[in-house]
Amino acid sequence: MHAYFPGSGACPSTLEALIYEMPFGLVFRKALLWHDGEKYEFGNLQEIGRDPDKFGWNFRCSTKDGCRLEAAIDGAGTSIHRLPYVKTDCRGSFEVANNSLAKAVLRLERQGRLVETLETGTGAVLEMVGQ
Its domain, for residue 11, covers 2-129
> Would the pTM count as exceeding 0.85?
yes
Domain count, the chain: 1
Of 33, 20, 56, the closest CA to residue 106 belongs to 33
Q: What is the pLDDT of residues 28-79, one digit of tens each?
A: 889 999 998 899 999 889 999 988 888 999 999 999 999 999 999 999 988 8
**DSSP sequence for 56-114:** EEEEEEE-TTS-EEEEEEE--STTEEEEEEE-TTSS-EEEEEEEEEEEEEEEEE-TTS-
Pick 14 or 131 by higher pLDDT.
Answer: 14
